[in-house]
Amino acid sequence: MSPKENQSPEKNQQWLPVFLIAGALAAWGGLLAVGAWLAPGGDEASRGDLRKLWVVAGMTGGYLLLWGGVLAIRARKVRRRQAERDNQ
């Protein structure tokens, strides 16, 4: 039996809220990035500058990657501890 077949539906549903929150944060970051790009700037040259869009999108993406990494590390630790308990 492969590890994927061994997972229960409850375990898969445990991650659903995390993915929904991450998706909502990504959508919000996208809206903020577009808003930063379309917002009027101090001078005519900065209006419509794509660098503003990329800065906001990059920060949002970095934030999501950071928390995704933290959650992945935590999940790995929890699985390792559970496996150690099962072996004892």
The pLDDT value given to residue 7 = 60
User: Does 26 have pLDDT greater than 80?
Assistant: yes
Distance between CA atoms of residues 37 and 15, nearest Å: 33
- Residue 85 — φ and ψ, nearest 5°? -65, -40
- pLDDT at residue 1 in the model: 42
**In angstroms, rounded to a whole number, what is the distance separating the alpha carbons of residues 24 and 18?**
10
Question: What backbone phi and psi angles, to 5 degrees, belong to 15?
Answer: -85, -10
Q: Is the pLDDT of residue 70 over 60?
A: yes
0.75 exceeded by pTM: no
Mean pLDDT of the 49-54 span: 88
Q: What is the pLDDT of residue 6?
A: 56
